[in-house]
Amino acid sequence: MRRDQRRLAAIVSADAVGYSRLMALDESGTLAGLKAHLRELINPKIAEYGGRTVKSMGDGLLLEFPSVVDAVRCAVDVQRGMAERNAAVSDGNRIVFRVGINVGDIIIDGDDIFGDGVNVAARLQTLAEPGGICVSRAVRDQVLDKLGFTFDGLGTRELKNIARPIEVYRVALGANAVAGRAKSALRRPSPNQERPSIAVLPFINRSHDKEDEYFSDGLSDELLNVLAKIPGLRVAARSSASTFKGVKATVAEIGRALNVATVLEGSVRKAGNRMRISVQLVKVADGYQLWSESYDRTLEDIFAVQDDIAQTVVKELRSALLGETLGATPATDVTAQLAAAVIGRATDPEAHRLLLQGRHLIERITRDDTAKGIGYLEQALEREPRFALAWAELSSAYASQADRSWVAAAEGYGHARRAADRALALEPALAEGHAALGWIQFSHDLDLRAAAASYARALELAPGNVLVLRRFCALATTIGHFDEAIRVGRRVVEQDPLSAVAYNNLGLALDAIDRLSEAENAYRKAIELGPQRTITRAVLAVNLMRQGRCEEALAEVSREPEEWGRLYASAMIFHALGYRAEADAALRDLIAGHGDEDALQIAEVYAARSEPDLAFAWLERAYAQRDPGLADLKIRNSFRALRADARWDALLRKMGLEEFEISLPLNSELSA
């Protein structure tokens, strides 16, 4: 009688949690997502660790490895990779795996395997939490001293159709690897280990005059900006915190959305020269009020009030979240940190009020409001010419006008540079001044080395400044430091989780290195957070085209609100589909309607059509126009066909886009 073929092997059983529900919600999207995960992450990892796919059952996998150590390594890498890929995907749309691993004797039947060892792996998989890994005692014993992972015992379990009880262990991956629960792919320590974190909500304006809203908003903004410069404190970005303005939500809901342990909220009542400010600091976990205070003061006392609130908040957070005894940290330490954080502010309360009013208008991002806001900043500087922070904000406002073509580029950036230089001459350690100068160097001068130095200095002075982090992410992407860009981009998403811009920038970095499905998820999250956002749908459409999903791409680009974005993406998608007449028509309309300002996009379309001479001609035209999009030249995938042309390297050198080393400052909390 023929004997069974047997061998000892490590068996991995994996299953996609809730796959049927996902298919019912979006069949084509779920299937495409699963295929992308297999193609881009799972199958390469199986090959890397010498494994074999025995069978794929739609939503499940059965794998065999000759080494149990490699089996566990592969499973851990896959689960951590899935956590990263799911970071930008909403909870209800994530594809999340649970994994079981056993080692034992198996029966070989052609390409298939059978036996008790296989059945145990399948049962262990059902015990794993979403995003987790469960293993048998045999697996744990064989890898315990060979790998850096720890194991949590789950006890001895009776498994269905398994004759003997099995001792079960869970691989301790850390919170970041549990994709079904994680909000980002970054490390999320337990509250007792996590550095203090806070969201400063927009203060409620309780004044009779609704025009005083600029003052209540400005006060909360000032506190946020100061707290963001305090070492060891993570502050949710203003753009995310401001989404809760006027929204009825519990502290627990706000804390979960913003990924913080505490929330600072308050109100302001202003009448003439007097003000009443009420604030409270609340712990998210249990709603406990850590501290509250009311201040009845005159406007001349505004700086003293702000300093008192900031200093008390820092002390309370250290006490509540780090277990420090109140008063254990010398008051001089907190005072010194606060003094460093408020460098560059006004000494004249009226100049400060004018700054708040100007900032309130500029942040509306309209031509008229920006011009009015600049007027208020200029009034503030007339009262206090050495007001460094006002000079920095004036620089950013002038640059914003130039960015949006509301004034001529040379005029706007010229004013911006002079204001930034003045700010730094007054206060060389002003983070906002370095950030403003860095933007001019990046977007107008195309002097990326100088911009990198300015951003690094700004982050050294204010490691929690989300605006600078976003710009640093864009810079790292521009010069090809994609790992750095993705790392910083994920940090920005963690700190600014409701920002469409943050997800869009992360998507661009992922797209540049062909992590297409992850980039798609980031773009979709950006659109979810900012449905009226322009250009993101066009970028997403090109991403879908590159994935071979051209019909979906056409549907997506039809929803792009910006005409030049629709035409640019459509011209490439129609070309990819072989629809020559439609592609030509879209390109013709793009040139006719937008040739004077969108030469770069026209060059990209010609590159995608394999017409290098016309592509280079339009690139030269874009350079002559000082198109700010040229900073992204190296990451635009359609230009790959031009890279073998000698004209490409010459163009990069002329534009200063050759690669060079950049890094976050060594003392930055974000380097970890």
Residue 266: phi, psi to the nearest 5? -170, 180
Residue 193, pLDDT above cutoff 50: no
Please tell me which residue, 400 or 627, carries the higher pLDDT value. 400
11-48 pLDDT tens trace: 999 988 877 778 777 788 888 889 899 999 999 999 99
CATH number of 197-327: 3.40.50.10070
| Class of domain 343-445 (CATH, top level) | mainly alpha
**Residues 6 or more apart from 211 whose CB is under 8 A from it?**
none
Using the structure block, give the residue that is written with the tokens 């309130």.
360
Q: What number of residues does the chain have?
A: 672
Q: Which two tokens stand for residue 232?
A: 């060891």
216 sits in which H/E element: helix 213-227
pLDDT digits (tens, 9 = 90+) for 372-401: 999 999 999 999 999 999 999 999 999 988
With H, G, I as helix, E, B as strand and everything else as coil, classify residue 106.
Answer: strand
CATH number assigned to the domain covering 5-177: 3.30.70.1230
Q: What is the pLDDT of residues 217-250, one digit of tens each?
A: 888 888 887 887 777 788 888 888 888 888 888 8
Name the helix (H) or strand (E) containing 204.
Answer: strand 204-205
- Coil, strand or helix: which one is 590? helix
DSSP secondary structure letter of residue 430: -
Secondary structure letter of residue 38 according to DSSP: I
Q: Which residues pair with 108 in a beta bridge?
A: 5, 113
User: Distance between CA 312 and CA 337 in Å, rounded?
Assistant: 13
Amino acid identity, residue 605? Answer: V
pLDDT at 108: 83
For strand 133-136 and strand 204-205, is the pairing parallel, antiparallel, or unpaired?
Answer: unpaired
116/392 Cα distance (integer angstroms): 70
Q: Tokens 């269905």 label which residue?
A: 160
Contact assessment for residue 295 and residue 223, using Cβ atoms and an 8 Å cutoff:
no
Residue 177 — very low, low, confident or very high, per pLDDT cuts 50/70/90? Answer: very low
Which pLDDT belongs to residue 187?
A: 32
Interval 586-590 mean pLDDT = 96
Q: Residue 493 has what DSSP assignment?
A: H
Return the domain boundaries, the chain. Answer: 5-177, 197-327, 343-445
Residues 6+ apart with CB under 8 A from 637: 511, 512, 514, 546
Where is mean pLDDT largest: 323-332, 339-348, 458-467? Answer: 458-467
Calpha distance 367→406 (Å, rounded): 7
Tell me: pLDDT of 524 over 50.
yes
State the DSSP code for 358.
H
Burial class of residue 83, CB neighbours in 10 A (0-12, 13-18, 19+): buried
Report the Cα 158 to chain-centroid distance in Å.
44
CA atoms of 123 and 118, how far apart (whole Å): 9
